[in-house]
Structure 1
Amino acid sequence: MDSVQLDQSAGIVSVGPGARWQKVYDALDPYQLSFQGGRNGKVGVAGFLLGGGIGFFSPERGWACDYVVNFEVVLSSGVIVNANSKSHPDLFAALKGGQNNFGVVTKLQLRTFPQPPLWGGVVIYSNSTDEELLDAVVDFKNPARFDPYAMFTFGFVYDATLRAFTANIAMYHARPSIVNGSALETFAKIQPQIFNSIRIDSPGSFAGEKISPVVKQYYMHWATNTIVVSRTALSRIQTLFRETSITLADSYLSANLTVAISIQSVPATAPSSNPNILGFAAGSEAEKRLLNIGLAIQYEDPAATAGLDIATKRLAAQIDQIAIEEGVYDAHLYMNYAGSWQNVLGGYGQESLVVLREVSSSTSGSMLGSEINDLMQSTLGWSSRPDGERA
């Protein structure tokens, strides 16, 4: 289930759903081929792709799921089907962002592309750089400076044990020869820096680099938001993050708490000829306008679980409120960063929900079942009864 087999002549790599991205990159790097996969080599292939997937090449190549050419799926009936652009095309689109709600994916075929080494790495800054870094984020998102080859994940981290804030960025440029003068160069020059691993290297090497503060055996709460880029909104969110982090640290002294917030560009939108279920209209240029916000609260003490769950939900709601007040709110939620309580499918929009309902019905009572029906009832006024009548 974790096999990786490359057909170099066809440019297709067949991957078992249990494989992790490091194994895929290790198979592709020697041929200077790559895929729009995860930036953390420890992340699993199937879950990442079924949730959409943001990768090294997202501004140029879009969502990772759009580079899947075939899903082999076992439906709830036990029937094995191949979902692709010609066979079961609606199921194919629904799987690209619909997670594992329509059956069990047993194999994925992925379209590769030529990719020489990248420019990139991780930089960690002191907390005196926050305002300069936020200016750089806004400058990066200036449509006049849009660079389809540049990608970053920027974040603030608070370590309650050390009582210290830091900022960090993982950034990559797919064309090292033109990185000078790009918006990423601005990030690379900001000082003071605590750590800098910028280099030219393979996607697999970057995927093996530790870019998050996640600790094994610790508990995690996740949440996500989406906003239109706004310097004012980002400043308010950063202030909220700092205030919330200190409050939580004071409230959970023995939890060994880490609070993190990440900011990255939303990927380019897929062409209408290669639809997914994520809800972005072709030509919407989300990659030039939108930012994904990710929240993560990590802690060691299980007694803190209930309280920090409430705190995560409150923080996500407060970020939404800031976005609404600033006129930059967007309903889309990135599934791979979302909390289990967040209405990701509803954020895809009504048209996507209709497709999901139809695919759920056609795959004979798939696992999506009541979730889709409940969403339809609340957002479209549809009945939750099996016959699908409108209420």
Structure 2
Amino acid sequence: MRVACIVPVAVLAAGIKAQATGGAVFEPQGFNVTAALESLGVDVSALPEVEPETPGLSGRSSYAPCPLACSSLTYLFGSDNVLYEGSAVYDAFTASYWAAQQGALSPSCVFKPKTTAEVSILVLIARFYQCPFAVRGGGHAAWAGASNIEDGITVSMENFKQVKVSADLQTVDVGPGLRWVDVFTEVEKSGLSVVGGRMAPVGVPGLILGGGISHFSNKRGWACDNVASFQLVTASGIAINVSPTSYADLYWALRGGGNNFGIVTKFKLVAFPLGQMWGGQRIYTEDKFPAILDALHHFTVEGSATDLDAAQIATFATFPGVGKVSFGNLHYAKPIANAPVFDLWANIAAIQDTTGFRTMSGMANLLNEGAPAPGAYETWWGISLKMDRELLTFVIDTFFAQEATVANVEKILLIMAIQPVTTGALNAMQKNGGNALGLNPANGPYFIVNFNAAWNVAADGPQFHQVINNIIRLVKAEAQRRNFDNDFVYMNYGSEYQDPIGSYGAANKLKLQNISKKYDPTQLFQYLHTAGYKLVKGAPNPGPP
């Protein structure tokens, strides 16, 4: 590594914080990227220069901005930390994306920073050369460009794997290179847990920045509501600590605003005591659907308020040789089996039952069983509605009617899940000034309907997109007719054809845009950091599916 010094990062951060808290702009007009790099110990004169474009040059020119940016990163940090196309390690990296659509993209290089200072330099190098980039945490998104890029730099946060429990056991410092099962496994050694993802392989940063539904949400809110602070590298290359008392507007924006404000290099999560919990999955046949919907509706509107430690999900699918089935996922944050809040479920006969006592890491592994392996073509879609028992029946009937239209298309799975957003969760979301999601407790409770399709043949994708889009169109029309529609789209279930940030409401979107302009006046994280859902446009793919 040829970076001479990283001490000035703290000095720069202190200066910029003084500006911001003193009422001045966060990044002064005429900000000098070269000077900022040099202040971090980078000898800019030693970096390759951009040469004039050669007429008729095709392919990836070594003189184009991104190859030069990649060469600069290699010069500064060594070849072990920068991967190039044509190498086995590069191929292994792109193949490790969960969805085939993501893995099909070919970045100019993959950069693997190890420290926050290296992330700062990466941001400034991208800005210096005007090279687009994407940032990957767990790589668990389901559309091309969510956390990978064609021809730019993909920044892999895989080296940020710290899990550090505070001495008072109140918080845990967590790196963005971790998956949730790794976080749970480590904090369980201290008798703790955190509000995080429910499936083992899901990455930390995407889940938190998009909201983060959890088994503990009925009591504690979503994952984004349980972050004590974020360490964030901004468009100026400065690492700042964002909390309710430091950059409070940015703290609000990071809770649901996605990757639009910088690169998070550390999450300080609120911890709580937890040993074993109870839960698992029960499988039911079609004749049990009315009772399942009764139980789910009762829990959402009444039962959840009587016991904040409970969580419920119902998933629906058709399985060859079995027919229409439902998977009831029940979880309880105490080592008590079949607590009274689950009484309605106790009277429904299941054909399979895996409920029992496990740690949260065990629950995460269990819920991931049967999920498609990495490398399949995937799509996720999500909508939200106000809870209504008759509407639940309409949703289920519409799903199976439309699913039948692709019954002969080869698939790995096509499923729909119903997840309550309870009054308890909505109230817990209001702490520390609330989040950016725009879910109003006064209009709840709600339920989220999310769809997941997985298949092996790329050409079959449009059929799955179309059938899910049809279901959503029919369900939303019926919900509007009954006055039970809701705009909110959960970012982590959004498809490339949806606009989660727009669904937060015009006021919240404008507030997010203004915060972005305050801390990122050149809009680097809108136009150079191209991955994910952007504040400056709607759906990543505005065309029809």
TM-score (norm: length of structure 1): 0.88
Q: What are the Cα deviations for residues 210-233 of structure 1, in whole angstroms up to 9, with x where unaligned?
A: 356431222111111111111111
For 1:220, the equivalent position in structure 2 comes to 378
Q: What are the Cα deviations for residues 100-139 of structure 1, in whole angstroms up to 9, with x where unaligned?
A: 1111111111110112321211111122211111111112
For 1:258, the equivalent position in structure 2 comes to 413
Q: What are the Cα deviations for residues 187-213 of structure 1, in whole angstroms up to 9, with x where unaligned?
A: 24311x222111122212111113564
Return the match for 2:267 from 108, 112, 116: 108
Q: 3-state DSSP class of the match of 1:101? A: coil
Provide the rounded CA distance (Å) in 2 between the counterparts of 1:207 and 1:177. Answer: 18
Whether contact under 8 Å (2:163, 2:173) holds in the other structure is yes
Whether contact under 8 Å (1:223, 1:296) holds in the other structure is yes
Q: 1:53 to 1:358 in 2, by over 3 A?
A: same
Whether contact under 8 Å (1:74, 1:103) holds in the other structure is yes
Q: Which has the higher strand share?
A: 1
Provide the rounded CA distance (Å) in 2 between the counterparts of 1:46 and 1:278. Answer: 17
How many pairs are equivalent? 366
Return the match for 2:227 from 56, 68, 71: 68
For 1:164, the equivalent position in structure 2 comes to 323
For 1:241, the equivalent position in structure 2 comes to 399
State the identity %. Answer: 27
Return the match for 1:19 from 178, 183, 192: 178
Whether contact under 8 Å (2:230, 2:268) holds in the other structure is yes
Deviates more, 1:63-72 or 1:366-375: 366-375
State the shift of 1:162 in Å: 4.6
- For CA contacts below 8 A with separation 6 or more, give which structure has more relative contact order: 1
State the shift of 1:11 in Å: 1.6
Provide the rounded CA distance (Å) in 1 between the counterparts of 2:510 and 2:251. Answer: 15
Is 2:436 the partner of 1:300?
A: no
Return the match for 2:535 from 372, 383, 387: 372
For 2:471, the equivalent position in structure 1 comes to 315
Whichever residue aligns with residue 367 of structure 2, its letter is K
Q: What are the Cα deviations for residues 26-73 of structure 1, in whole angstroms up to 9, with x where unaligned?
A: 112233211111111211111110010010111111111111111111
For 1:356, the equivalent position in structure 2 comes to 512
Q: 1:366 to 1:237 in 2, by over 3 A?
A: same
Uncovered stretches (5+) of structure 1, i.e. residues with no partner: 376-391
Q: What are the Cα deviations for residues 285-337 of structure 1, in whole angstroms up to 9, with x where unaligned?
A: 74xx1111111122122110122222222222222112112221011111111
Deviates more, 1:360-369 or 1:57-66: 360-369
Is 2:367 the partner of 1:210?
A: yes
Provide the rounded CA distance (Å) in 1 between the counterparts of 2:196 and 2:327. Answer: 21
Is 2:303 the partner of 1:151?
A: no
RMSD after superposition: 2.1
Whether contact under 8 Å (2:412, 2:454) holds in the other structure is yes
Q: 3-state DSSP class of the match of 1:244? A: helix
Q: 3-state DSSP class of the match of 2:535? A: helix
Whichever residue aligns with residue 235 of structure 2, its letter is S
Whether contact under 8 Å (1:237, 1:322) holds in the other structure is no
Uncovered stretches (5+) of structure 2, i.e. residues with no partner: 1-159, 539-545
Q: Which has the larger radius of gyration?
A: 2
Provide the rounded CA distance (Å) in 2 between the counterparts of 1:313 and 1:285. Answer: 25
